[in-house]
Each structure stands twice: as C-alpha cells, then as structure tokens.
Structure 1
Amino acid sequence: MKKTRWQGWGPSEQAEQHYLVHPRGLAGGGDVRHVSEFLRASGWRDRSRTGGPLAMESPDHTVRIAYDPYTRPGGWTIHGAPTGHGKEWATHLGRQTPVEIVAGLTDALTRPRSAHAPNVWSPLQEQNWRTRFEGEHYTATSPDGTAWVQYHQGADGTAMWWIGAKDCQGNGWTASLSPDTPMHLVQALSAALADPEPVMRPRGHVPPSEQIRTQSVSVRPSELTAWQQTRITAARAATWARSSWASAQPRNRRPATPGPYRAGADRRAGRR
C-alpha cells in the first residue's frame, strides 16, 4: 500500500519568513489567539458572538476579558468583580499592546497566587529600568526609553497604574489599571513588558519604527503549530492538576447531629 505524505509536514513543507522583534513593547498587537486559546485550555468559557468581539469568562464567573478591534479606541478590557478577597477592578490595554504582554496578565489569572508578596518594580529593576519619583508619581522607564510603568496619583487623590510603550513617532499603546487591580497581576504585566526576549511576527506585520530591531528567521508552519500546542498543552496540564488536587481533598463534613431522643437515651444509659 502506497503511503501518502500530508503536505503540511515534512520536507515538502515551505518555510515562511518571520521576524524576531525587539523591544517587544513595540512589536504590535499580534495574534489574539495567543491569549484566547490559553484561556480556553485553562477552562475559561468563550462568550463571544459570531462575528463579534472576543469575550471570555473565568470558570468562577468573577473575571471577564474582552477584545474589541472594531470600536475606538478599542483594545482589551479586563474586569474583575468584587469578591471576598478584594474590590472590583478594571484594566484597559490598547489595541497595539503585544499579545505576549497581555498574556502576562491573563495567564496569571489562571494560576494560584504566590505566597510571596508581589513587587511590581522588582522585574523592572532586574532589567536595569530606571526608577524615580516625579511629583506624586513613581515611574520606571526602560533603558531605551520606549516603555514605562507608572503609579499615577492625580491632584484629586485618585490613583491608577499607567503602563505603555511608544516610539519617537508616537506609535505604540498604553494601558490603565484601576488602583484595586490585584498587585500580582500588575507585577505579571510589568514582568512581561520588561522581558528582554524578542517576540515573533510574520512578514507584513512588523510596525514601521526606527526604534525596532528585527532579525529575519525562516519558520515552517508545523513549527509554529507545535509551539502554540506546547503552550496549550501546558495550560491543560495545569488545569487538570488543579482539578485533581481539589477533588482529592476531603470535604468538610458537619458532625452528626443526634436524633431527637438520642441525648435522652444517652443520659438514661449513664444512670445504669
């Protein structure tokens, strides 16, 4: 029997030109599925309507994530409902926020919180970002000056996190996070922004910027699929591990309640 080789794999597969982009903050939006497929694999529900914006909901219904490229300013909106652990919070990230940076925050929503106190500034200082006070604000700026993280306090006392990246031409994005946004999520976002690793973009999807450095690479579609699948498999494995651990824990059982005549019977038995 003659075997037929599937054209998507093997030597007949054609490599495609991609670019490694640095700094990652100026790489442009990227493929939204980098975020959404990981959330699906982590048990999140897809609430999107056909042809409409992306809408995802956490398994416990406390967090909603939406991506709308059709409106202005558009972009990512993440909303957390008030819970016993914290107040209501909201985050908005512009349309050109790289999905790898968005995923820094959204991936963290799928994991248990660390026992260590979060530190937003630590991952920035590790990458030699410059930190300073500017009036009522505290700001960290990347070594090349294209990205920043700022704790912004207004004259009326309101506060927020202001994060973003822009080149000399003004191309880029900004993100605003309410002051009640859980600190471990702000730290996850700052760590993803400060990550020195470049991100990959296909030909034709690299923003025109004099401050971007690129390296051309040839990538087979099967390699891209394998990399994406590795990320999804990791999410499924982590979700399965958490579910297995939770199901193995003993349930809290209430102590047996004596029947209406049991106590009296015990007292009578004690007098014998």
Structure 2
Amino acid sequence: MKRRPSRNSRRPGEQAQQHYLVRPRTLAGGGDVRHVSEFLRACGWRDKSRKGGPLFMESPDRTIRVAFDPYGPPGGWMIHGSAKGHQDEWWARFGLYTPVEIVAGLTDALTQPPSAHAPNVWAPLWEQNWDRPSSTEHVTATSPEGSSWMQYHQVPGGDANWWAGANDGQGNGWTAQFSSSTPMRLVEAFSAALASPEPVMRPLGRVPHSTRIRTTSVSVLPSQLAAWQQARLVAARAATWAQMTARTSRPPAATSHPHTGAAGGARARR
C-alpha cells in the first residue's frame, strides 16, 4: 500500500489521487462501509437493504444480521445473532465513527469457522504492548498512546460485558459494546483489529482533524484501489468455496448397527 505505483500500472488517462495512511487506526474515522458489506456479500450473505435506506446484511442461514444506520439516533453498527444450538442470542454495537477496518475484524470472523484454540481477548492487546492501569475498577487495557481502550465490565449480580472505544479528547471518538453472550472468538477478532498497529487509508477530505493522529500522504491510482478491494473479495470467495467443499466432502458419520456385538459396541464408544 505504501509503494508508489509503477508507470506500467497506470491506465491511460488515469490520475493519481491523494490519500493518507492514518495512525492510530482507532481515530481514523468511519471509512467506507463497503469494506464490510462487499466482503460479506462475497461470502454469500444476502443484501436485504432497501434502496436509499440503511445497510442490512443477513447470513446464509439467516441467524445473523449486520446493519449500519447512519441516520437514526444514535447511528452506527448493530450486529445480532439468533440463538442456535448451544449459542444464546447475542449482539454487538459499534458507534457511527468506528473505523470499518475494526468492525470488519468481527464481521469477517462471522464468515469463518471457529478456531481450535481457546479465545483470549487480551492476547492481541498484550502483544501490542497495551497497558493495564491499576487504578481502574474493571479489568482494562489501554493503547500505548492512551486514546483507545478495551474493558471487561462486570457488575456484582449482573451480566459481564465487554466495552471498548477510542477518544482523542477533541470530539473524535466512538464506543463498542458486546452482550455477555457474544461468542468470545468474535470479541477476540475485534480486539485483534483494534490493537493492530497497521495504519488505515483515508482519502483526502476524510481524515478527522485531531492532534492525536499521524498521517502519511500517498498517491494512489484508482486502479490500485480497485485491485486491492478485488483481492479482498477474491480471498473471501475462495475461503467460502473451500469451506463449502470441505463440508460436502466429509464422510458420513458412522452409524451403529442393530446386530453389533458387545465387542463392536465397545469399539464404537471409544
């Protein structure tokens, strides 16, 4: 993303556009919602949005909904999961100015199978040297520059909730909340995106005015932007296809036979 385009990559008549790499990413502003919606669409999600209305995406099995409403108060993202199997109903909310790259940390994870490892929400934060203030009532991690946080909030006798956000002290910021039943793997995916040191790109005129951010000016060709976006969608389609192929190629589960002897039954129970 930081490379200057080569002359051979320039389309005839194409003009480079000024963009900015913004750090920390948590204060970069909302960004383009298509970063989230196009990825979900490439993974087979249904776009249930009404023309001119808020974004509304639905998972292939219709158990999860992702909505973005910039109009109605308070505005922002709402992700809702229905009860399914051993999973209770859950939700997550993100403020209007939550960077789409951080929202995508969770929404991209919705399209992926659970990992074999036990989720650890704090691990991505500690890996990026986030601090743990001793003066806070609840378990909290704060970013090295102090503008972002992740908190585990538990009230005696009440539900435990995760709370996160960013604030530059100059009017720029957002918050995120998760229900107590939100799958931990999704909260971990969010915290990894929250703590990532990688900058995010914003076009000219879309960078918040803040003394807490650092920017690097870059010239980007429209064809480069399109290629980067397409690569993300191609990866989404490939992963979805691989998951579908794996599911359809699994051998059928072994079934017990009514005349199996005691020895055979013992083997089947192992």
TM-score for the superposition, normalised by structure 2: 0.88
**Which blocks of at least 5 consecutive residues in structure 2 are unaligned?**
1-8, 259-270
Deviation of 1:252 (Å): 4.7
Aligned to 1:164: 165
Deviation of 1:139 (Å): 0.1
Q: Tell whether the 8 Å contact from 1:25 to 1:97 is kept in structure 2 after alignment.
A: yes
* 1:109-128 → structure 2 map (5 Å cutoff): 109-128=110-129
Whichever residue aligns with residue 143 of structure 1, its letter is P
Aligned to 2:237: 236
Aligned to 2:192: 191
Percent identity of paired positions between Structure 1 and Structure 2: 65
**Which blocks of at least 5 consecutive residues in structure 1 are unaligned?**
1-7, 258-272
Aligned to 2:82: 81
Deviation of 1:66 (Å): 0.4
* 1:103-114 → structure 2 map (5 Å cutoff): 103-114=104-115
Aligned to 2:54: 53
Aligned to 1:208: 209
Deviations 1:5-56 (A, max 9, x none): xxx9524210000000000000000000000000000111111111111111
Deviation of 1:253 (Å): 8.2
Deviation of 1:249 (Å): 1.9
Aligned to 2:266: none
Deviation of 1:157 (Å): 2.4
Aligned to 1:92: 93
Q: Tell whether the 8 Å contact from 1:136 to 1:153 is kept in structure 2 after alignment.
A: no
Figure out how many residues of one structure are paired with residues of the other and give that number.
251
RMSD of equivalent CA atoms: 1.9
Larger-Rg structure: 1
For residues 230 and 27 of structure 1, what CA distance do their matches in structure 2 show?
Answer: 23
For residues 90 and 137 of structure 1, what CA distance do their matches in structure 2 show?
Answer: 21
For residues 208 and 19 of structure 1, what CA distance do their matches in structure 2 show?
Answer: 13
Deviation of 1:153 (Å): 1.7
Check if 1:250 corresponds to 2:251.
yes
For residues 209 and 154 of structure 1, what CA distance do their matches in structure 2 show?
Answer: 34
Check if 1:222 corresponds to 2:223.
yes
For residues 243 and 158 of structure 1, what CA distance do their matches in structure 2 show?
Answer: 36
Aligned to 1:20: 21
Check if 1:70 corresponds to 2:71.
yes
Whichever residue aligns with residue 137 of structure 1, its letter is H
With over 3 angstroms needed to count, the CA separation of the structure-2 counterparts of 1:135 and 1:196, relative to structure 1, is closer
For residues 157 and 106 of structure 2, what CA distance do their matches in structure 1 show?
Answer: 28
